[in-house]
Amino acid sequence: MLNGRADDLDSALRILLHTATSLSTSKKQKRWVKRPTESAGRCCLAQCWGLLMRVRWAQEKEIDAVKQLADRNRGALGFVVRGSLEERIRRSELLVAEIESAVIGFVTFHNRRDGWTTIHELCISKGHRRRGVGRILVNAVYQHAVCSGQRGLRLKCPIDLPANGFYARVGFTRVGVEGGKRRALAVWQKWAPDPRSGTTSSRPLGPDSYSFFITLTNHPKAVRDVVRLWDESGDKRDPFGRTVVTPLFSSPGTIAEVFRLKEDRNTVVMFDSGGYQVQMGKASYEELFDRLLRFYRENSWAHWYVLPDHVPSSSDSDREVEFKVRETIDFARLFIRMMPDDFVTKAVGVVHGRTDEQVRRCVEAYADMGLLYIGFGSFGTSGPNGNINLISQRTLKLLRLVQTLAEERGLRVHIFGIGSPSHLIRLAKANIIPTSFDSAGWWKAGAFGNVFFPGGRQLHVTAVRSFETTLPGLQCQKRRSGHKCPFCDDLKLLRRRRMNRILHNLAVMLDTIEQL
């Protein structure tokens, strides 16, 4: 619990003043400009629209102003008891933001004995929202928690409120959903830095933007060979730090190799559901559900588990797509209920749909289930058996919507089945930045005689079909792209050896990710 000393807040707010940057609002608004000042009254000073704003401990004489502000926002906060506000002022657990002596916002919090600082109410007057006041109040509490040696911040917010998007934007991670008296509550946490390392090592295992989950072949020896040859190449990058595998349609030997990667290299493992195999007619959706439920229950060593999904195909009618979207949502909800309680924090829900409404329904359903991670798999397809994902304008439009909805709800976004580096570049140009993606395209292309070069198209090199595929043409591609790797040093071997092409394509994929 806080000791109420003014110098604690002063210390925290000084850190805030030195570490915060200017917060831009809309083009019609002026900037907040925060600058260190004298700590008159032990407060944090900022300027907005030429007016001085203060963040400081609340005083007893301001109880009426705080109570009135809380009552005007009862729809979001619920009924705030006056006596609880008075108690928080006495215990130094209430900060106010004021402009010209008028209270425009407040936050209440409490340092718990388990090390978490919980935010109970955060409220900004209607005329001062979207100008950075809420961010400054939250950062003040966060810095105070850090100075107090707390583990971080924690709060709960009704799942249907727009405020959830705000908490995601100011650095919180949604860690679950709990039942409330009237509606479900999203649980948010923001970890304090580890005092030993300066990093938030307590944060659950999760990927960063453009995290690459490598998809390996279903031949155990080939998996061992590709890992060995990469390690022997001298390239210090580790493409095997994350991998995705479809366990129901992989050999036991392949699963064993993936488990070995996890044990030996701390590889993050994602189990895919195998929905594509249902699309190809290799299993029914009901059979997939039953088998996946059994396998997931028996194998708790993976980090992420993709929920069963009924994949629509390009040839499906609108009615068939709607049926599959509904089945995907309903069966995902049932699947979670049949798994252990902590499974929801490791589950990945798959977003399908041909329309904005279907995509929105998927994302909202997964958010209501308490998922932290969603994946997009509704690509158009082409090629033999429809095994090549296409990125059409419709796909880009749906992906933008998924990204927007996920940001509002604090969800991570994975994209399934990126075919080539050029697909990543196209997504980036459309301002679509996934948290993570997976790809088997580098392996498939190399196995069929094709190679990538950064910024260029895929080339078939086992036969000369144009100047680009001659040895001088390939040399031109290397000069144009600036790509170098041990697997394309000898272009004759690149043509002749399947494994050289596969590993060269993997190196190009990593180059592209680094450029992005």
Q: What's the domain range around 364?
A: 270-436
- Predicted confidence band of residue 208 (pLDDT cuts 50, 70, 90): low
One-letter amino acid for residue 90 of the chain: R
CATH number, domain containing residue 13: 3.40.630.30
- Per-residue confidence (pLDDT) for residue 73, from 0 to 100: 82
Please indicate, yes or no, whether residues 417 and 277 belong to a single structural domain of this protein.
Answer: yes
133-152 pLDDT, tens digit per residue, is: 888 899 889 988 888 888 88
Please indicate, yes or no, whether residues 176 and 275 belong to a single structural domain of this protein.
Answer: no
Token pair, residue 123, equals 């409220």
- Residues 321 and 358 sit within 8 Å (Cβ to Cβ): yes
Beta bridge partners of 243: 214, 269
Q: Which of 436, 457, 479 is the last residue of a domain?
A: 436
> Mean pLDDT score of the chain, rounded to an integer?
83
One-letter amino acid for residue 306 of the chain: V
Residue 157 falls inside a structural domain: yes
The verdict on pTM exceeding 0.75 is: no
- What percent of the chain is predicted at pLDDT more than 90? 44
Please indicate, yes or no, whether residues 174 and 76 belong to a single structural domain of this protein.
Answer: yes
Is the pLDDT score of 207 beyond 80? no
Q: Which of 191, 214, 230 is the last residue of a domain?
A: 191
Please indicate, yes or no, whether residues 187 and 274 belong to a single structural domain of this protein.
Answer: no
Please indicate, yes or no, whether residues 187 and 290 belong to a single structural domain of this protein.
Answer: no
| Domain count within the chain | 2
CATH number, domain containing residue 286: 3.20.20.105
Comparing 35-44, 135-144, 346-355, 435-444, the range with the smallest average pLDDT is 35-44
For 429-483, give the DSSP string.
Answer: HTT---SEEEE-HHHHHHHTTEE--TTS--EE-SS--SGGGSHHHHHHHHHHHT-
Residue 400 falls inside a structural domain: yes
Cα torsion angle, 30, 35, 41, 43, sign: positive
Cα distances (angstroms) measured from residue 152 to each of 1, 157, 178, 423: 14, 17, 19, 38
Please indicate, yes or no, whether residues 177 and 278 belong to a single structural domain of this protein.
Answer: no
468-511 pLDDT, tens digit per residue, is: 999 999 999 999 999 999 999 999 999 999 999 999 999 999 99
313-347 pLDDT, tens digit per residue, is: 888 899 999 999 999 999 999 999 999 988 988 99
Please indicate, yes or no, whether residues 174 and 313 belong to a single structural domain of this protein.
Answer: no
Chain centroid offset of residue 265 CA: 23
Please indicate, yes or no, whether residues 127 and 40 belong to a single structural domain of this protein.
Answer: yes
Token pair, residue 469, equals 């595929």
For residue 223, which phi and psi values (nearest 5 degrees)? -65, -45
Q: Which of 436, 455, 487 is the last residue of a domain?
A: 436
Residue 297: which of 287, 286, 308, 305 has the closest Cα?
305
